[in-house]
Amino acid sequence: MTFLFSLEQQYLRWFKADFKCCLFLSASLFIYPGYGQPVSVQTHYRNGMVVCATPQAAQVGLDILKKGGNAVDAAVAVQFALAVTLPEAGNIGGGGFMAYRSAKGENSTLDFREKAPAKASMNMYLDASGNVVPNMSLATHQASGVPGSVDGMVEAHKKYGKLKWADLIQPAIDLAHNGFKVSRRLAASLTRAGDQFKKLNPGKSYLIKDGGWKEGDLLIQGDLAKTLGLIRDKGRDGFYSGIVAEQLAEEMNNGSGLITKTDLQNYHSIWRKPIIGNYKGYRIITMPPPSSGGIALMQLLHSVEKYPLARWGFNCDSAVQLIVEAERRVYADRSKYMGDPDFYKVPVDSLLRPAYTASRMANFNWNAATPSTSIQPGSFAGYESDQTTHYSIVDREGNAVAITTTLNDSFGSKIFVKGAGFLLNNEMDDFSAKPGVPNMYGLLGGTANSIQPGKRMLSAMTPTIIEKSGKLFMIVGTPGGSTIITSVFQTILNVIEFGQDMQQAVTSKRFHHQWLPDDVQIEKDAFDPKTRSILQQKGYKIADHGPSGRVDAILKTKDGYEGGADPRGDDTKMGW
Ligand code: GLY
């Protein structure tokens, strides 16, 4: 009886929410044309698609597909092209994750995340009083983890590639050697970082231009072209041993860094079993730890599954409230339970149990925001500055690749390896330097994500592939530091629940809650004034933020592949 009563109350509330949301959405579309769902006109392709952060890299990927390369071949070529054309995040000095689904349905994930050097230690960023030394994990030689990107590409190509390795690297070498015209966005970003480049790289001139960069300037990277040439000719050995390894070790010696030639030789990426879950009949294939993304994404989807989001509508107060409350609880769990599975037993099954998610949402109160101080990680028996980048690729056969790769902060540590022409990551900041002290994304962590030699730092990167009825449905992912998970989550809901096409789903305004700080971070105009006011009356602190993430995604429709390239960056979609 109590159950029936509460069910009736729930449906009554849903009905009211439906009515209210529809009214506000129609009104808001009329009165505030900037709100609501963006308009989009889609082009569909039958033979394959590449969606990534720069037009040059998208063209490289498309050319490889047209030459008969598969999605992994195109991904390898795009990764190296991004290392040249997106110096903020595209990289050979960082790491990342890949989710893969073959046309036949085989799936796998590849972890090429950076690792702590052998000389790293738990308290390496603390001073004599036990306080975290500001910026030490961000802008010093000690901020870098052992890079994984080159090994990751070698491994992906070894397992799935079709075209010759050298042919996949050559387009990047050409871009570095001949140069390319910088976009307005890249010119601004390089100019902004100029003073720091100078300060951190005395005597080096990479990416520095007196007077600043202008749109259309030619960026030539000769040392990077040489390094890429070694990788083209020697594969893994072109980076992890020989001249480049020596240059990297010398750079470390000169800056009191920790990475040694032995660390480089010992680095290996790992094939991991994907996190696989279901949401309303859609099969989600996503990244396991050391990413927190896959588990958190599934927890979020489970938390909202039983509610009629589609009827409530996009960014209505009820939908926003539910999503925020789910995000608050899931990020609390992330702070305690997630870390490198090779060092810490992540309770994956427990975190993904539907009964557990239900118990976490049990104290959700429709009348008032749940204060984050009253939420702790659950119990049962580790942005952008968001410089990570994501690309989604599908080939003619239907093989799909989702890769998210990162230097962490914009241009990583902003330290170049002298003579080798590439930037080092500052991924060590993704570890928890000290329990209770937030990292650059405001994320908290504890033992699970403490620093240990050889351990991988926790990530939020969430490259994801979705199937519907046993067939490829979506390829999605994004940069964005702590907002990665919530951006992927909301993009999926935008398509599955709110009926948006792929470009609309990517363009739509996003919001984010990560438990602490206890505020709802929103992109400009994400909520119409009425929705904002309702949420504020219920106690939600709404904080206006800049653009969140750069989602690049592909959707398979009956008309062919359609892409969503994020207008927040120079992101580009190309197909054939
Ligand atoms: N460096 C951002 C992440 O891996 O989540």
- Measured by CA distance, the residue closest to atom 1 of ligand 1 is 408
Centre of ligand 1 from the C-alpha of residue 405, in Å: 8
Phi/psi at 187 (5° precision): -60, -45
Mean pLDDT estimate for the chain:
92
User: Sign of torsion, CA 506 319 3 379?
Assistant: positive
> Of residues 378 and 223, which shows the higher confidence score?
223
The pLDDT, as a whole number, for residue 351 is 95
**CA dist., res. 293 & res. 9, Å (int):** 34
The pLDDT, as a whole number, for residue 13 is 39
Categorize the per-residue pLDDT at 34 as very low, low, confident or very high, splitting at 50, 70 and 90.
low
- CA of 320: how far to CAs of 486, 528, 535, in Å? 12, 12, 9
- Measured by CA distance, the residue closest to atom 2 of ligand 1 is 481
Q: For the chain, give the percent of residues with pLDDT over 90.
A: 86
Burial degree of 255 (CB within 10 A; 0-12, 13-18, 19+): middle
Choose the residue to mutate in 461, 486, 488, 548 for probing ligand 1, maximizing ligand atoms within 8 Å of C-beta: 461
Centre of ligand 1 from the C-alpha of residue 426, in Å: 10
**CA dist., res. 142 & res. 216, Å (int):** 35
Categorize the per-residue pLDDT at 56 as very low, low, confident or very high, splitting at 50, 70 and 90.
very high
Which of 142, 139, 131, 118 minimizes the C-alpha distance to 452? 118
The pLDDT, as a whole number, for residue 379 is 66
**pLDDT, tens digit (0-9, with 9 covering 90-100), for 416-456:** 999 999 999 999 999 999 888 888 877 887 889 999 999 99
Categorize the per-residue pLDDT at 377 as very low, low, confident or very high, splitting at 50, 70 and 90.
confident
The pLDDT, as a whole number, for residue 386 is 59
> 386 CB less than 6 Å from ligand 1?
no
Does residue 258 surpass a pLDDT of 60? yes
**pLDDT, tens digit (0-9, with 9 covering 90-100), for 548-560:** 999 999 999 999 9
Compute the average pLDDT of residues 509-538: 95
CB contact at 8 A, 20 and 317 = yes
Centre of ligand 1 from the C-alpha of residue 458, in Å: 7
**CA dist., res. 509 & res. 526, Å (int):** 5
Does residue 12 surpass a pLDDT of 80? no
Centre of ligand 1 from the C-alpha of residue 55, in Å: 24
For the annotated catalytic residues, the residue numbers are 388
> Of residues 382 and 222, which shows the higher confidence score?
222
Choose the residue to mutate in 114, 286, 423, 484 for probing ligand 1, maximizing ligand atoms within 8 Å of C-beta: 484
CB contact at 8 A, 549 and 480 = yes
> Of residues 60 and 15, which shows the higher confidence score?
60
Lowest average pLDDT, out of 7-16, 298-307, 391-400, 563-572, goes to 7-16
Strands (E), 313-470: 387-394, 400-408, 464-468
Compute the average pLDDT of residues 366-384: 76
Strand partners, 573: 51
Lowest average pLDDT, out of 27-36, 408-417, 419-428, 511-520, goes to 27-36
**pLDDT, tens digit (0-9, with 9 covering 90-100), for 93-111:** 999 999 999 999 999 999 9
Q: Is 469 left (phi over 0), alpha (psi -120 to 50) or beta?
A: left
C-alpha count within 13 angstroms, C-beta hemisphere, residue 466: 28
> Of residues 573 and 444, which shows the higher confidence score?
573
Q: Is 242 left (phi over 0), alpha (psi -120 to 50) or beta?
A: left
Does residue 457 surpass a pLDDT of 70? yes
Does residue 25 surpass a pLDDT of 90? no
The pLDDT, as a whole number, for residue 39 is 83
Does residue 243 surpass a pLDDT of 50? yes
User: Sign of torsion, CA 71 76 81 87?
Assistant: positive
Compute the average pLDDT of residues 235-262: 98
> 461 CB less than 6 Å from ligand 1?
yes
The pLDDT, as a whole number, for residue 316 is 95
Running DSSP on this structure, what letter comes out for residue 285? E
Strand partners, 388: 406
> 383 CB less than 6 Å from ligand 1?
yes
> 91 CB less than 6 Å from ligand 1?
no
> 430 CB less than 6 Å from ligand 1?
yes
Cα–Cα–Cα angle for 219, 221, 224, rounded to 5 degrees:
150
pTM of this prediction? 0.92
- Which atom of ligand 1 lies nearest, measured to the CA of 409? 1
- Which atom of ligand 1 lies nearest, measured to the CA of 461? 5
Centre of ligand 1 from the C-alpha of residue 205, in Å: 27
